[in-house]
Amino acid sequence: MTDHSSVNFLLPAVTLLGAAVVAVPLFRRFKLGSVVGYLVAGLLIGPQVFGLFHDPQTILTIGELGIVMFLFLIGLELKPSRVWSMRQDIFGLGGAQMIVTGAVVMWVPYMFGRPFDASLIAGLGLALTSTAVMMQVLEEKGEVHSPHGERAFAISIFQDLTVIPLLLLVAFLSPLPAQSGEAWWVSAAKVVVAVGGVVLAGLYLLNPLFRFLATWGAREIMVAAALLVVVGAAALMTYAGLSMAMGAFLAGVFLAESNFRHQLEADIEPFRGILMGLFFMSVGMTIDLPVVLASSWRLGVALVLLLVLKASVMYAIMRLFRHDHPQAVKVSLLIAEAGEFGFVLYAAAVSAGVMSAEQGSILVALVVLSMAINPFLYRLGEWALGRRAANEPEPEEDFSEVRGEVLIIGFGRFGQVNSQMLLAEQAEVTIIDNDVEMIQAAGMFGFKIYYGDGTRLDVLRAAGAGRARLICVCVDKRDAADKIVELVKGEFPLAKLYVRSFDRAHTLALRNAGVDFEIREVFESALLFGRDALIELGIDPERAETVMADLRKRDGERLVMQQQDGIQAGNHLLHQQQVTPTPLTEPARAARALNAEAEDVLTDETRFSG
């Protein structure tokens, strides 16, 4: 016999998966992005077109777990120290964007005769941005950790913090009689307990838990534990009235330094992808076509005004905070859309009598349309920036006058000081950099800097790397430094190679690569700083010098020990793989896990040793 309940469950699942499988590759084939594909697929199978689904809210609720998991993964990439370093962007850019954009956008409905209270909620709701769409666009382009990607994400963090204040504002503006509820201090206590619980669990509970499960649990239990962490943190925040996404993000941040970080990413990633797809499809289902068609001209005008106003305000704020033009353009276009929290905010405003049901439906439709058009808008901005860059003359890589015995790659703060030391003793120095503004500024002070990308082998050859006695790699990006080291060691082995190191882990990697000399970019300056601090406190200068020398010596000894331990661990792992067959495990996975844990230990140690 056929189980009708199973059929009733399987048909919607097959429909959702089939729509996604057809729509997403098709839209990506035409470079329209997967987000638009999901939205269109949801619109077609939703109640407005083919009517295959009549309750998109249920799917939307499940799909929101995709956003929760996505923010958990983002949190895993951000250590608490890094979040703290972003505080100016979070509260500076984020606060300015929310206040100024909300104040500007609210005047549009107000001038068209809407009540002030309804216009205020409409403006503040439209000032929010869809973190899901924005991060999906950045992820597809590999720009999540780019400067503009991190600043846009910092703004979205601040927006998540405004969730509760906005809902409280709706309740305050409501003309309806106040419903009996809990006292304000009870709500505040819930928030403190929820946030404190997530923080304490992340710091003291989760690492021992995963260590225990890794030792005694089955593979599937680790997956279940990862899901429990994400969903549990989200549930705790929801109980306190905060955003689910905020709870998952905090849990990720406090697990960012865990030895199990990479395992958690691998376990959560498959669930995140499919659930985010469900979310976007459910958003497409919520588009109210009769309302859209009946108010098409108003929606069209409102959409253009929204995008222009939000992008213009954000661009002005970015420039006010002294960010360059390309970065300001990209962030302003990422922030130009409205966000999914508008669905919740406008539903609450209609229920509270702050705005009419018709206005709420139009605002929801406006939010969805802005989310759908955002990938196109961002691509248009990239095209415009590309056209502008193409019209600007590219500096020529002219190395006809190169004669130096020393080649310096990178003329930032580190390279400038290094070059002055060498030039003071009349060393023949060739300096290359690919920052046009830096080259022009250096020329004003009499420095001859050649334009060139040091990560290209042809540029290194033309700049005289084959004749140089010494090559100094002074770039400030670790990936670029590693690429240059690889090229120099392979193509110019006779040259001595001195490299600026990013941190302790990078130092060990450079030593293993066989460089002749490396130095961490802040280590020696921190030693000198500490020496003078001791002298200021009354310590004898000779004693301060001794302390500094002792610290330098002990740090060098630790580096040697760590380098030897790393080599021994690698040899041991290789021996294990050659001698002991492991049919039930995956050697590649084991190697990656060991390397990941070693990297995390080194990164932890970096905090104490520069």
pLDDT for the residue numbered 388: 63
Question: Which residues are CB-neighbours of 455 under 8 A, at least 6 positions away?
Answer: 480, 483, 484, 487
Q: Longest Cα pair distance anywhere in the chain, in angstroms?
A: 93
pLDDT of 200 strictly over 60: yes
Same domain? For 584 and 468 the reply is: yes
Residues 467 and 349 placed together within one structural domain of the fold: no
What's the average model confidence in pLDDT over 67-88?
75
Query: Please, are residues 126 and 363 in contact by the beta-carbon 8 Å criterion?
Result: yes
Global confidence as pTM: 0.53
Closest CA to 282 of 69, 68, 53, 126: 53
The CB-based long-range contact list for 425-432 (8 Å cut-off, 24+ gap) reads: 428/403, 428/404, 429/404, 429/405, 430/399, 430/402, 430/403, 430/404, 430/406, 430/463, 430/464, 430/468, 432/407, 432/408, 432/459, 432/463
Strands 496-501 and 517-520: parallel
Lowest-confidence region among 52-61, 208-217, 254-263: 254-263
Pair 141, 226 in one domain: yes
Spatial separation of the C-alpha atoms in residues 172 and 158, rounded to whole Å: 22
Nearest to 599 by CA among 166, 184, 257, 210: 257
- Residue 100, SS3 per DSSP: helix
Asked if residue 422 has pLDDT above 80, the reply is yes
Residues 372 and 475 in one domain: no
Range scoring the smallest mean pLDDT among 146-155, 176-185, 186-195: 176-185
Residue 586 neighbours by CB distance under 10 Å: 10
Considering its fold, how many domains does the chain have in total? 2
Structure tokens at 202: 């992340």
Residues 361 and 492 in one domain: no
298 with 428, same domain: the answer is: no
**What pLDDT, on the 0 to 100 scale, is given for residue 339?**
83
pLDDT band at 543 (very low <50, low <70, confident <90, very high): very high
Same domain? For 163 and 299 the reply is yes
Q: How much is the mean pLDDT over the chain?
A: 79
3-state SS track over 323-384: CCHHHHHHHHHHHCCCCCHHHHHHHHHHHCCCCCHHHHHHHHHHHHHHHHHHHHHHHHHHHH
- Select the more confidently predicted residue: 310 or 209: 310
What residues contact residue 149 under an 8 Å CB cut-off, 6+ apart? 138, 143
pLDDT of residue 166: 84
Is 10 inside a domain boundary?
A: no
- The CA-atom distances, in angstroms, between 568 and each of 259, 552, 557, 573, 589 are 20, 25, 17, 9, 19
On whether both 359 and 418 belong to a single domain, the answer is: no
In terms of pLDDT, which residue wins out, 608 or 228?
Answer: 228
Nearest by Cα to 36 from 259, 281, 262: 281
Is 341 within 8 Å of 128 (Cβ atoms)?
yes
**In the predicted model, is pLDDT for residue 549 greater than 50?**
yes
Which amino acid is it at 550? D
* Position 609 confidence tier, pLDDT thresholds 50, 70, 90: very low
pLDDT value for 254: 74
Residue 48 belongs to a domain = yes
Could you tell me the CATH number of the domain that includes residue 123? 1.20.1530.20
Cβ atoms of 237 and 244 closer than 8 Å:
yes
Encode pLDDT of 277-331 as tens digits.
Answer: 887 788 778 777 777 777 788 888 889 999 999 999 999 999 998 888 888 999 9
For residues 600 and 255, give the distance between their C-alpha atoms in angstroms, rounded to a whole number.
Answer: 11
The answer to whether residue 207 is domain-embedded is yes
CA pair distance 447, 561, nearest whole angstrom: 41
The radius of gyration of the chain from alpha carbons, rounded to an integer in Å, stands at: 28
Which of the listed residues 382, 414, 438 is the one where a domain comes to its end?
382
Calculate mean pLDDT across residues 180-187. Answer: 64
pLDDT for residue 84 is more than 80 = no
Region 168-196: mean pLDDT is 74
Q: In the predicted model, is pLDDT for residue 136 greater than 80?
A: no
429 bridge partner residues: 406
Beta partners for 471?
407, 497
Q: Are residues 264 and 357 in the same domain?
A: yes
Most confident segment among 139-153, 225-239, 459-473: 459-473
Distances (CA, A) of 569 to 195, 509, 563, 575: 39, 15, 10, 10
Phi, psi of 3 (to 5 degrees): -85, 105
In a domain, 568, yes or no: yes
Which of 206-210, 221-225, 435-439, 495-499 is predicted with the least confidence, judged by mean pLDDT?
435-439
Residue 13 lies in a domain: no
Residue 121 pLDDT level (bands cut at 50, 70, 90): very high
**Beta-sheet pairing, 449-451 with 470-473:** unpaired
Is a pLDDT exceeding 50 seen at residue 584? no
Residues 468 and 341 in one domain: no
Which of 324, 349, 382 is the endpoint of a domain?
A: 382
Tens-place pLDDT, residues 332-383: 999 998 887 787 788 778 878 888 877 887 888 888 888 878 878 888 887 7
Last residue within a domain, chosen from 348, 382, 416:
382
**SS3 assignment, position 500:** strand
Does 534 share its domain with 579?
yes
Indicate which CATH number applies to the domain containing 534.
Answer: 3.40.50.720
CA distances from 127 to 138, 370, 381 (A): 20, 12, 20
Sheet with 496-501, edge to edge strand ranges: 449-451, 429-433, 406-409, 470-473, 496-501, 517-520
Amino acid at 268: I
399: in domain? no
Range of the domain at 527: 406-609
The number of CA neighbours under 13 Å toward the Cβ of 381 is 24
Q: Is residue 230 part of a domain?
A: yes
The whole-number pLDDT of residue 124 equals 93
Q: For the segment 369-392, what is each residue's pLDDT rounded down to a tens digit?
A: 888 788 788 888 877 777 665 555
Q: Do residue 434 and residue 500 come from a single domain?
A: yes
Asked if residue 161 is part of any domain, the answer here is: yes
